[in-house]
Each structure stands twice: as C-alpha cells, then as structure tokens.
Amino acid sequence: MYVVTGAGGQLGRALVEELRGEEVVALTREDWDVTLPPPPGLVPDVVLHAGAWTDVDGAEADPQQAAAVNVGGTANAAALGAPLVYYSTDYVFDGTKGKPYVESDGPNPQSAYGRSKLHGEAAAGERAWIVRSSWLFGPTGHNFVRTMLRLGAERDEVAVVDDQRGSPTYVGHLAAATRQVLDLPHGLYHVAAEGDATWADLAEAIFAEAGLGTRVRRITAEELGRRAARPAYSVLRSVRGAPPLPHWRDGLRECLAAIRDVPGRE
C-alpha cells in the first residue's frame, strides 16, 4: 500500500492519479499535518512524501515553521518505517555552476526554503529515494503556468524574470518517473524535464501554446525584488541513471490539455 502525503498539492494529486488502480492512502494536510505524529494504524509499503512547505518567499519570514514542515515533517514520514520518496529541489544549489547540476555537485542553498529542503533530505533516512526536481507545474494549485494563464487573460504585457534558468517540470511526468525510481537503489536522483528555459522563455511558450497574444517584457530578478534569493542557473541532470523525462515543452502541452479537459479544476 502506498501512502501519499500532501495529496492535495499539485504533485500529490499527480501521484494519486498516476497510481490509480493501486492501493493508495492519499492524505491531504487536513488528514495528516506532517508536523504531528502519523495517524495510528498506518502500515505502508512505500511513502511518497509530497507534503511540504513550498512558499519560498514565505519561508524567509518564518524559517522555523518551514523547517518544522520540511525537516520535522519528513522525519515523521520516515518514522512510518517504510521506504520513502522525498521530493527535493534545485533550490539546494547556489546557481553559480553555469552547467547542469548533477547528483555529485555540492549543495549551497541561498534561501530558508532551500536550507529546509536540504535538511529534509537528511531527515528522510537511509531507506529513501531523494528525488530532486525543479520548477514544478501542473493543472491544479499554485504554479507559474496557471499564474501566467490568469495574467495573460487580463493583460497585454507581463513582466517576467529572464535571468534565472531551470528545467520546468510537469508533475505528471515526475509522478510517472517516480514509479521507475522505486526500482532503483535508494539514494539521490535528479529527475527534471529535458531542456531548459528562463521564466520569460516559459511565459512566452505558455502564451504561444494557449493562443494568447500577451507580450513578455524580460526583466531581472532584482527588478522583481522577491524576498528569497533563487539560483540564477539550476538546470538538473542525472549521472546516476535516473529516469529521463520528456522535454518541458511537451509537459507544458500536456498540462494545458489537462486544464482544457477540466477547465474549473482547482
């Protein structure tokens, strides 16, 4: 039996969808706040730990609570005693490498969120697959694709950061790859979409694929002035045999198709 934590989040939902037909206990935050001990009587074969504090700027204001969820919550998930998949992030890197980050590269997080996720990797324990991914988007929840679709419908022009480059990854592709990861030895894997883009590139692709005429004005991260520092370059690649994912543009098309299928989806 699989337990999925954070089952109401964008990745959690994709995992539950991917595992349709299997025995799955899908736990939203309401079902199990992972900062608390696990519900009694839960004996999973595998835990897919998608529950996390993901508010990157909010973590700067409340690093203790971010750590309580991302580190303490991961320790609680590991305490279930089953092998565990912990989803980590490209934000564990400082972004100065200028070439794709592989599993052997040293982390150096620049934000409270990145630090909490890195410490969470250690809290996942020995019997864990640490799956680092990046720039997640899907048909539900808070993500860049959905934000751009909303802004694109309202405005002729949107200002978007052009000096951060990463691998925008579709949650459906990451969920499918998670099944393959389970066949690999425990350890650290980089699992992100093929190709790379800046946020501005991604915004232009979103508007083009969605048939919107919205223009993208390319700005710097400094101009946007967000609270948390983000890596300027955080493309992830694997040298450890992690499953390759489709290109981010294919992920974007699949995501937009899923949004069209169920337009009111939240």
Ligand X SMILES: NC(=O)c1ccc[n+]([C@@H]2O[C@H](COP(=O)([O-])OP(=O)(O)OC[C@H]3O[C@@H](n4cnc5c(N)ncnc54)[C@H](OP(=O)(O)O)[C@@H]3O)[C@@H](O)[C@H]2O)c1
Catalytic annotation present for 101 = no
Query: What type of residue sits at position 256?
Result: L
In the block, tokens 């564990």 appear at 92
Give the SS3 label for residue 60. Answer: helix
Q: Which residues contact 38 (CB under 8 A, 6 or more apart)?
A: 32, 76, 77, 79, 80
Binding part of the chain for ligand X, among 9-17, 97-105, 199-207, 214-222 by CB under 6 A, reads 9-17
Residue whose CB is less far from ligand X, 64 or 157 = 64
**134 lies in the binding site for ligand X (CB under 6 A):** yes
Instruction: Lay out the site mask for ligand X across 102-131 (x = CB under 6 A, - = otherwise).
Output: ---------------x--------------
Q: Where are the beta strands (DSSP E) in 6-92?
A: 24-27, 46-49, 84-89
Q: Which is nearer to ligand X, 51 or 231 (CB)?
A: 51
Q: Measured from the CB of residue 34, what is the shortest distance to ligand X in angstroms?
A: 4
Residue ranges of E strands in the chain: 2-5, 24-27, 46-49, 84-89, 128-133, 136-137, 157-161, 165-166, 169-170, 187-190, 197-198, 215-219
Closest distance to ligand X from the beta carbon of 172 (Å) = 12
User: What torsion do the CA atoms of 265, 248, 142, 116 make, to the nearest 10 degrees?
Assistant: 140
Interatomic CA distance for residues 8 and 5, integer angstroms: 8
Q: Coil, helix or strand for 246? A: coil
* Residue number, 107 or 141, with CB nearest to ligand X: 141
Q: How many residues bind ligand X (CB under 6 A)?
A: 26
Nearest-approach distance from CB 209 to ligand X, in angstroms: 19
CA dist 106 and 104 (Å) reads 6
The H or E element spanning position 64 is: helix 63-67
Cβ-closest residue to ligand X? 9
175 binds ligand X (CB under 6 A): no
Q: If binding is defined by CB under 6 A, does position 199 make contact with ligand X?
A: no
- Nearer to ligand X by Cβ, of 6 and 152: the residue is 6
Residue closer to ligand X, measured from CB, 32 or 207: 32
Q: By CB under 6 A, what part of segment 37-96 binds ligand X?
A: 50-54, 69, 73, 87, 89
In the complex, least distance from residue 141 CB atom to ligand X, rounded to whole angstroms: 4
Which member of 2, 87, 101, 113 is catalytic? 113
Give contact residues for ligand X (rule: CB under 6 A).
Answer: 5-6, 8-12, 29, 33-35, 50-54, 69, 73, 87, 89, 117, 133-136, 141
Residues designated catalytic: 113
